Amino acid sequence: MTWMMSAGTDNEGTSPKVSGALLVAGTTSDAGKSVLAAGLCRWLARQGVRVAPFKAQNMSNNSVVTGDGGEIGRAQAVQAAACGLAPSVRFNPVLLKPGGDRSSQVVVLGRAVGEVSALSYRARKAELLRTVLATLEGLRADYEAVICEGAGSPAEINLRADDIANMGLARAAGLPVLVVGDIDRGGVLAHLFGTLALLDPADQALVAGFVVNKFRGDPALLEPGLRQLRELTGRPVHGVLPWREELWLDAEDSLSYTADGVIGRPAPPVGGQWLRVAVVRLPRISNATDVEALACEPGVSVRFVTEPSRLADADLVVLPGSKATVRDLAWLRRTGLADAVRAHPGPVLGICGGFQMLGARVHDAVESGAGEVAGLGLLDVDVRFEPDKTLDRPRGSALGEPVTGYEIHHGRVVRRADDLAGLVTLPDGAPEGALRGRVAGTHWHGLLENDAFRRAFLRWAAAHAGRDGFEPAPDVDFAARRTAQLDLLGDLVAEHLDTDAVWGLLERGAPSDLRVVPPAGAPTLV
């Protein structure tokens, strides 16, 4: 996964001195916090500022492995690339990985430390806040600027008392706050005003301004609303970022994908036929971004599906990763998707949890406690879950091409048929994953981001699907696509944000005379 090491600009030279930090909060999930933070990181790095990203607490099953063998949210790895940095556990000290509606695995400074419920987690917040603040303090000592990203919405007042990711962090660390809202959903002015108004006066004192995201149309039509928002709140809108359809890679939230489940913007095929890919959207899907590299290929249509009929016209079926393999395997059976996957006549690829589901048996006394469960039986392997999580960034070869990837899983192959080939061959000659006929599986995330392998894999899939007229493009460079997206984010910040105001927040913090907007927190009951 060299993109995390090399993408971005070198920001180790002479640079302006800012010695500050700010927090990007959002009115909702997927409002644009991650992309605005990445854009700010890219813009600052271009100015020669030594800048780092930070998210105190992330709740996501999209994660990556750092160089020192830790685990952080994928969005912070992308933001690190925007800074020209390798990912570090310092950039995301607390990661929550949901395994069900009421429980999550807690990862602290890159290491899993146990499972918690929503209520039991709250009892650990004070201890975790100390870790968060110490980590942020270290980053502020080592870098000239730190761009922090909030989580969800700061106006979740039911959670404010022990918040460590939004206004709780801002108050404890003295961070000025920008609140971003997504106008594409509608009601953005109400979202921005209401978010501020629900905060108590001390929290409001740190909210320095707003940013509108995903605007389409004539900015002149929006201007009267922005002017009135400033009159009502005493705070400016520091920028209106336009909608750009190119911005879809490395989505932090599944809400980022289109309503019909299509991933990316498919380009016409190079050959005479399309290759249609159906990715099963598991309830507890993890690292869904694995398939985004396929969606960058001309003539490859990649779509998320949740019911059996959508597999009927698919050429390739992908079972992606899962934070709860056994539970999602049971969901496949309840929905009829398990039978549809088994009956699919074309190629099937399983990644991590999806690979485990394709096997003969899964023994899980760790995540679900279910013991031995039958798999789909398409690959003759048995998997056993171990308490210690595998976190690695291995290398090898696959389909004749050199490959890299990363591993994040509790399940380990404990039995494989003697005649079963590996999808990947490790440097010592050992097999990884499995390959038999039209079915392939691997524990490696990021495998499809290897350009030469991806082309070889698409030729393999097309051959097994009978798509003789499909031809992979010879020149798709996935790492370059990701770098171009980061550059675009930096361009949007430079062109559409009041960057002088951003400098001011980093250098001086929030203005001292910001107005309190009623009701300013919970009312007093008499």
Catalytic positions: 352, 445
In whole angstroms, give the CA distance from residue 289 to residue 304.
12
In whole angstroms, give the CA distance from residue 24 to residue 36.
8
Report CA-CA distances (Å) from 403 to 2, 6, 237, 445, 452: 11, 16, 45, 11, 9
Q: How many CA atoms lie within 13 A of 356 on its CB side?
A: 29
In whole angstroms, give the CA distance from residue 69 to residue 208.
37
Reference 322, options 390, 411, 393; nearest CA is: 411
In whole angstroms, give the CA distance from residue 223 to residue 191.
17
Q: Are 403 and 397 within 8 A, CB to CB?
A: yes
Q: How many CA atoms lie within 13 A of 229 on its CB side?
A: 25
In whole angstroms, give the CA distance from residue 188 to residue 31.
10
In whole angstroms, give the CA distance from residue 450 to residue 76.
21
Please enumerate in sequence order all residues whose Cβ is within 8 A of that of 89, keeping only pairs 6 or more positions apart, or say none. 66, 68, 70, 71, 72, 109, 110
- In residues, how long is the chain? 526
In whole angstroms, give the CA distance from residue 202 to residue 216.
34
Q: Are 286 and 62 within 8 A, CB to CB?
A: yes
Quick one: the chain helix, strand, coil %, rounded to 5?
35, 25, 40
